[in-house]
Amino acid sequence: MNLTLRVWRQKSASAPGGLVTYEARDISTDMSFLEMLDVVNETLLARGEEPIAFDHDCREGICGACGVVIDGTPHGPRRATTTCQLHMRSFKDGDTITIEPWRAKALPVIRDLIVDRTAFDKIIQAGGFISAPTGSAPEGNAIPVPKESADQAMDAAACIGCAACVAACPNASAMLFTAAKVSHLGTLPQGQPERRERVLSMVAAMDEAGFGNCTNHGECEAACPKEISLEFIARLNRDFIASSLTERPRSKHSDAPG
Ligand code: SF4
Ligand code: FES
């Protein structure tokens, strides 16, 4: 296939950016989207031009590093598919494809298609842990976990922290990500000691990072490559209200969830 790409180029967070047009020639339908960008970058390097900067690590849909907006949709046209697992057979010969970075104040562009996701790290640091006694590993079956709780925790733990939910939300809200991380530990017996403090601290960190409010558009769930359910946001809201009556967060207090 031969394609025309319109790619967002931006040298740094403070530099102005803009869309630049490139031709992608002889692209196999079996290539992944990132492999297609690799081919374009080889052409740019051969011409002595700066390659397109994009983030990636696992290329297996598990690390969350690779997200870009493809023709206006985070991670592109295929449902439940990360950019690295999107294949060029989803496009047609002669297509023009527009590729942009996530757009959110809390996720500033570092260069071209790469954004700074430190704000997500801060939310995790605020509550993504449980207290556990040090020493030898505990017996695996010492704490029985109800099947329903285990299933819920696994569903929430599927979140890879890619931030497509933020990019898709008209308010740039991080509620789906935060809800997944709060629920992942909050549904398990091991996560109960910090359950109330965790939700307050993670919501406070989310608000402090500058993410927008959730107004129930549902775009986050539609864009999520791991199909994290909006039900986790409802769960976060219930936990937040209950916790607000009994606990205070360790970081700056927030009055209401994102
Ligand atoms: S909730 Fe989905 S879209 Fe948001 S960070 Fe997690 S995996 Fe990515
Ligand atoms: S590169 Fe790891 S999820 Fe895409």
List pLDDT tens digits, range 215-241.
999 999 999 999 999 999 999 999 999
- Residues 70 and 194: their CA atoms lie apart, in Å, by 39
- State if residue 107 touches ligand 1 by the CB under 6 angstroms criterion: no
Closest CA to 37 of 63, 102, 45: 45
Residue 257 pLDDT > 60, yes or no?
Answer: no
How far does Cα 240 stand from its chain's mean position? 22
Ligand nearest to the Cα of 104, by number: 1
CA of 181 to the centre of ligand 1 (A): 10
**pLDDT bucket at 253, cuts 50 / 70 / 90:** very low
- 159 Cβ below 6 A of ligand 1: yes
For the Cβ of 78 lying below 6 angstroms from any atom of ligand 2, the answer is no
Give how far Cα 209 sits from Cα of 26, 64, 126, 174, 188, Å: 43, 19, 12, 10, 27
Instruction: Say what the pLDDT of residue 197 is.
Output: 95
Is the distance from the beta carbon of residue 53 to the nearest atom of ligand 2 less than 6 Å?
no
* Closest to 90 measured CA to CA, from 101, 100, 77: 77
* Mean residue pLDDT across the chain: 94
The pLDDT of residue 108 is 96
pLDDT at residue 227 in the model = 98
| CA neighbor of 179 nearest in space, from 127, 256, 236, 229 | 236
**Cα 160 from Cα 138, distance rounded (Å):** 27
Ligand 2 centroid, distance to 58 Cα (angstroms) = 5
Across residues 50-72, what is the average pLDDT? 98
Describe the crossing of helices 195-208 and 231-244 by its angle, rounded to 10 degrees.
110
The residue-averaged pLDDT of 144-158 equals: 96
Please work out whether the CB of residue 204 comes within 6 Å of at least one atom of ligand 1: no
Nearest ligand to residue 68 Cα: 2
Vertex 107: Cα angle to 78 and 182 (nearest 5): 75
Give yes or no for residue 147 having a pLDDT over 50: yes
* Cα-to-centroid distance, 84 and ligand 2 (Å): 5
Tell me the pTM.
Answer: 0.93
Instruction: Name the pLDDT band for 132 (thresholds 50, 70, 90).
Output: confident
Query: Does ligand 2 come within 6 angstroms of the Cβ of 206?
Result: no
In the chain the first and final C-alpha atoms are separated, in Å, by 44
Does ligand 2 come within 6 angstroms of the Cβ of 37? no
What separation in Å is there between the alpha carbon of 154 and the centre of ligand 2? 19
| Residues β-bridged to residue 24 | 3
Q: Which atom of ligand 1 is nearest to the CA of 176?
A: 1
Q: Are strands 3-9 and 96-100 parallel, antiparallel or unpaired?
A: parallel
Among 70-79, 137-146, 158-167, which stretch is predicted with the lowest mean pLDDT? 137-146
For the chain, give the percent of residues with pLDDT over 90: 89
Q: Tell me: pLDDT of 109 over 90.
A: yes
Instruction: Using the Cα atoms of residue 94, residue 100, residue 102 and residue 103 in order, give the sign of their dihedral.
Output: negative
Burial class for 47, CB neighbours closer than 10 Å (0-12, 13-18, 19+):
exposed
Select the more confidently predicted residue: 256 or 176: 176
Site to substitute for ligand 1 among 162, 220, 233, most atoms within 8 A of C-beta? 162
